[in-house]
């Protein structure tokens, strides 16, 4: 049996992988990969957007939102806080920075669940960046 510290470290590393996968899919403009990170009923809300539910709807929303974003704009997502609701469910606070675009920063709350060897996004809410 793994010690709790080892389990929490493993969960942390898996959640970091989820954040990196989301960043990679944004930068590759791979909306199918972006949507695939969500659970079947996972939902996604961008600042002032409609609520997208499920991978296909999430894929459509992010494609719409990024349709006019120049190809040279890149995203950098940084995990800044991690809390566990249960050993299988984590709440992540993530900051986003975008090269050459407005807004250049945002922040988000992710709820992720461990589904076997993968973490799936259950809910993502994107907000304006905190005021400095």
At 76 the pLDDT is 93
Cα 15 to Cα 52: distance, rounded to the nearest angstrom: 22
pTM of the model: 0.85
> From first to last of its 132 residues, what are the pLDDT tens digits of the chain?
444 555 555 556 666 778 889 999 999 999 999 999 999 999 999 988 999 999 999 999 999 999 988 988 999 999 888 888 888 888 999 999 999 766 688 899 999 998 877 788 999 999 987 665
Structural domain tally of the chain? 1
Q: What is the DSSP letter of 105?
A: E
The encoded tokens of residue 59 equal 């894929």
Q: What's the distance, Cα to Cα, between the start and end of the chain in Å?
A: 45
Residue range of the domain that includes 8: 4-128
The CATH number for 19's domain is: 3.10.450.50
């Amino acid at each position: 049996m793994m010690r709790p510290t080892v389990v929490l470290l493993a969960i942390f590393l898996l959640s970091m992988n989820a954040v990196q996968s989301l960043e990679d899919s944004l930068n590759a403009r791979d909306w199918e990969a972006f949507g695939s990170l969500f659970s079947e009923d996972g939902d996604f809300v961008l600042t002032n957007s409609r609520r997208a539910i499920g991978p296909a709807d999430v894929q459509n929303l992010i494609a719409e939102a990024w349709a006019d974003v120049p190809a040279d704009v890149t995203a950098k997502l940084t995990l800044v806080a991690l809390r566990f609701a249960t050993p299988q469910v984590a709440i992540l606070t993530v900051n986003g920075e975008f090269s050459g675009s407005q807004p250049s920063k945002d922040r988000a709350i992710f709820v992720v669940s461990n589904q076997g060897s993968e973490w799936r996004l259950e809910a993502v809410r994107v907000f304006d960046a905190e005021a400095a």
